[in-house]
């Protein structure tokens, strides 16, 4: 491989490359300070071009290290995604596939695909929203409009692989690249790319049986979006068979503008039966089906499945229903026999992870565990014997996005492991190098403070870094393995050509700090102040809250969203990460166990009391708003702290935890049968009678995540108690309605008007 030559060519030819490789593009231009300040409107958040500038998504380095590919929205429509490449040999950026050429009109997506996108938090995006390289790096596979397409990088031709009304989902290349697999009508299929013959690998899918598919709670709560995995040698595919027959049938209403739909949904509400899962292995021609022994207890979860490198064994993670035990099983793929390699236990709950990686030259693997209070890496042999810890200390090995692994690259020959973590600050994600032998601790290689998401070339000689911080819009840089930046693939300079440039001079100021929780732990906060801030004035404040488990909000990241709009309209916007919001270790999370909405509110009050101590804050004009768990926190704060907040906005809140699903709710509260007091105390209804401030309640009327019933129950309780409140509902909209331009713009405009009315 001519990797070094490629890097030299890239250094000379990379578009947008700065003469000083360490110069931050976010700080490139300061001339705008003398310009008139433009007013950033809500509509501009959804308009083209994207306010953040060109922001590549789904960045991948080809297996042959010749190109970097990514998805990017059109300049005229940021939500219409196309497939692009940056060619490392010639330094050219080019469009590979224009999604609107392949499908000129509106896409026709199945309900399954729409639900899958909702789970992936990409609702509203259109076109090419996912893709995969073939193992040889010569072809790209992607779904579009319910069918599958194969793009040849050599000929630059696109071949349509399927043309059906059923809709294919979760397409993959097999491990060697001989097959393309996918799900259709709840069964697993494969296409032999030598003959293009299509084969059906499972045959009983349909109705309550789903083969090779991630069940609802796996997608929504376990960050597992697939239900099948190819063996490294393509000799077989492992798959999960989901039987939903034990799951209770619930009627779910989706209310649209002109009609309504009633769904008889198998929804695993907390304390009720889950779907039954089995793990099978099948040959690529659909024969030789075998079932694996995953234990006698069927009331379990299978959050992760992998193959050992020899294709003879499966590595299966089995989680107990109470989520206090996680076993790593070694399962013989032919006999189905299994044994436990290692077991993790907790007195509260175990957070799932994606850090399992097998070494190539040694029969060993790397595994993540929070057994000592923080997420760290450990080296085991393939029989489950612990060899040594690889990281330790008061920090976490964790990535910056859902479903990604913090274990970036293993260089066995060079005795190096590259990871993402929080060693320098829990508000950041930096890239670190450490030794596989344990001889050297972590050494930071990412240079700029902020949020780094790195993707290493298979050779390990270079990586692509998707980086941003509070002052720098998202940029895509190319780096040597020691962290030295060679240049930018997408510099995204905040200069006169940048979409945000007209608003730069009037940008609110941002500050960070820490406060102390009652147990002495640090609570990180951030504060947005309006441009032209005058410390001699008293300002209204809006507390923006999420507050839920793994819901970190206070980060050193670029943001040009609705909270900035609030600050531009004269509000200080304050956010504090209470205990439980994750990525700070088990002691930071554990106080939430078996009671929600209590510790979180107390920590939010630490922030409010700090605000009240500031001379420039008007303590009589403090509001609060949040979405989802943040909507729940808004309600609990208003109800349990009467007189503190002058107004609140609650979006899509959970109000009754018995209405939420098994895996999420039982992780923190246990079951309603085992912890009835905790469920009652964690609901909003015991406290609703104490509402004394103006409340705006917002919910999508087709929400299949936090069911609309949560809000209708609250409406009735407030009405019965004679408590006035405002409400705004959205017919046909689901949980992510703020990501959709039409509804999102209306939501934010209504929230702004509400706070202007009650706080200004």
**And the tokens for 406?**
């913090």
What is the residue whose two structure tokens read 């206070």? Answer: 554
Out of 703, 704, 711, 733, the active site residue is 703
Are 732 and 702 contacting, i.e. CB atoms less than 8 angstroms apart? yes
Coil, helix or strand at residue 364: strand
- Whether residue 49 is preceded by a cis peptide bond, meaning omega within 30 degrees of 0, is yes
DSSP letter for each residue of 104-125 = -S-----HHHHHHHHHTT-TT-
Q: Is 460 left (phi over 0), alpha (psi -120 to 50) or beta?
A: left
Residue 628 annotated among the catalytic residues of the structure: yes
**And the tokens for 497?**
């050509």
Instruction: Name residues whose C-beta falls within 8 Å of residue 422's C-beta, 6 or more positions apart in sequence.
Output: 395, 396, 398, 428, 429, 430, 583
Chain centroid offset of residue 426 CA = 17
Residue 703 annotated among the catalytic residues of the structure: yes
Residue 699 annotated among the catalytic residues of the structure: no
Chain centroid offset of residue 570 CA = 31
What is the residue whose two structure tokens read 């034990």? Answer: 246
**And the tokens for 230?**
């190819």
Torsion 529-531-537-541 (CA) sign: negative
Residue 7 phi, psi (nearest 5):
-65, -40
Q: Rounded CA gap, 589 and 375, in Å? A: 12
Instruction: Name residues whose C-beta falls within 8 Å of residue 46's C-beta, 6 or more positions apart in sequence.
Output: 741, 744, 745
Q: Rounded CA gap, 562 and 45, in Å? A: 8
Q: Rounded CA gap, 629 and 179, in Å? A: 42
Cα separations in angstroms, 575 against 28, 315, 350: 28, 41, 27
Q: Rounded CA gap, 215 and 693, in Å? A: 41
Out of 628, 637, 682, 711, the active site residue is 628
Residue 32 phi, psi (nearest 5):
-70, -15
What is the residue whose two structure tokens read 């700080």? Answer: 27
Are 377 and 399 contacting, i.e. CB atoms less than 8 angstroms apart? no
Out of 479, 699, 735, 758, the active site residue is 735
DSSP-assigned beta bridge partners for residue 407 = 419
Active site residues: 628, 703, 735
């Amino acid at each position: 491989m001519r990797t070094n030559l490629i890097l030299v060519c890239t250094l000379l030819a990379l578009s947008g490359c700065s003469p000083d490789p360490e110069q931050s593009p976010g700080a490139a231009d300061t001339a705008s300070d003398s310009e008139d300040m433009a007013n950033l409107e809500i509509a501009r958040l959804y308009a083209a071009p994207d306010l953040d500038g060109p922001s590549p998504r789904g960045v991948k380095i080809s297996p042959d290290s010749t190109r970097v590919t990514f998805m990017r929205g059109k300049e005229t429509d940021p939500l219409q995604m196309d497939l692009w490449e940056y060619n490392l040999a010639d330094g050219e950026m080019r469009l590979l596939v224009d999604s609107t050429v392949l499908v000129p009109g509106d896409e026709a997506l199945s309900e399954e695909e729409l639900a899958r996108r909702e789970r992936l938090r990409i609702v509203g995006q259109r076109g090419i929203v996912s893709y995969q390289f073939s193992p040889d790096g010569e072809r790209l596979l992607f779904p579009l409009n319910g069918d599958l397409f194969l793009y040849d990088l050599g000929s630059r031709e696109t071949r349509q692989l399927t043309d059906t009304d059923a809709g294919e989902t979760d397409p993959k290349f097999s491990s060697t690249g001989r097959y393309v697999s996918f799900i259709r009508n709840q069964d697993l299929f494969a296409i032999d790319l030598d003959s293009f013959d299509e084969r059906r690998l499972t045959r009983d899918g349909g109705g309550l049986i789903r083969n090779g598919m991630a069940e609802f709670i796996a997608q929504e709560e376990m960050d597992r979006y697939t239900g099948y995995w190819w063996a490294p040698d393509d000799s077989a595919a492992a798959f999960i068979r989901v039987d939903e027959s034990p799951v209770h049938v619930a009627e779910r209403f989706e209310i649209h503008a002109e009609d309504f739909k009633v769904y008889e949904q198998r929804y695993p509400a907390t304390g009720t039966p889950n779907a039954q899962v089995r793990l099978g292995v099948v040959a690529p021609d659909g024969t030789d089906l075998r079932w694996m022994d995953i234990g006698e207890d069927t009331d379990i979860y299978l959050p992760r499945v992998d193959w050992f490198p020899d294709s003879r064994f499966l590595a299966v993670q089995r989680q107990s229903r109470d989520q206090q035990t996680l076993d790593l099983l070694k399962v013989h793929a032919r006999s189905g026999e299994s044994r436990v390699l290692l077991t993790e236990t907790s007195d509260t709950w175990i957070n799932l992870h994606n850090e399992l990686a097998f070494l190539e030259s040694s029969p060993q693997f790397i595994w993540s565990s929070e057994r000592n209070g923080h997420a760290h890496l450990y080296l085991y042999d393939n029989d489950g014997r612990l060899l040594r810890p690889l990281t330790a200390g008061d920090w976490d090995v964790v990535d910056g996005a859902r479903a990604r692994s913090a274990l970036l690259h293993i260089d066995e020959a060079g005795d190096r492991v590259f990871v993402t973590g929080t060693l320098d600050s829990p508000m950041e994600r930096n890239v670190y190098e450490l030794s596989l032998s344990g001889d050297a601790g972590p050494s930071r290689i990412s240079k700029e403070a902020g949020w780094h998401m790195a993707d290493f070339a298979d050779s390990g000689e270079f990586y692509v870094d998707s980086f941003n911080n509070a002052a720098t819009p998202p940029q895509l840089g190319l780096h040597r393995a020691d962290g030295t930046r060679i240049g930018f693939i997408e510099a995204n300079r905040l200069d006169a050509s940048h979409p945000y440039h007209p608003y730069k001079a009037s940008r609110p100021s941002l500050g960070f700090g820490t406060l102390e929780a009652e147990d002495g732990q640090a609570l990180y906060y951030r504060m947005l102040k309006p441009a032209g801030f005058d410390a001699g004035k008293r300002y209204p404040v809006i507390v923006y809250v999420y507050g839920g488990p793994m819901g970190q909000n206070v980060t050193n990241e670029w943001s040009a969203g609705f909270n900035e709009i609030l600050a531009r309209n004269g509000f200080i916007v304050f956010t504090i990460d209470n205990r439980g919001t994750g990525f700070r270790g088990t002691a930071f999370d554990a106080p939430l166990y078996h009671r929600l909405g209590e510790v979180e509110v107390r920590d939010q009050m630490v922030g409010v009391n700090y605000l009240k101590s500031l001379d420039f804050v008007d303590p009589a004009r403090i509001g609060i708003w949040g979405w989802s768990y943040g909507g729940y926190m808004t309600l609990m704060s208003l109800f349990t702290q009467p007189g503190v907040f002058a107004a609140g906005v609650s979006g899509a809140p959970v109000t009754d935890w018995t209405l939420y699903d098994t895996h999420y709710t039982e992780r923190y509260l246990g079951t309603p049968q085992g912890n009835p007091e905790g469920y009652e105390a964690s609901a909003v209804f015991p406290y609703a009678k104490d509402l004394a401030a103006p409340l705006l309640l917002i919910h999508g009327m087709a929400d299949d995540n936090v069911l609309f019933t949560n809000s209708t129950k609250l409406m009735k309780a407030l009405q019965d108690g004679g408590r006035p409140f405002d409400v705004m509902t959205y017919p046909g909209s689901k949980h992510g309605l703020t990501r959709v331009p039409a509804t999102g713009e209306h939501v934010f405009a209504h929230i702004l008007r509400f706070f202007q009315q009650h706080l200004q």
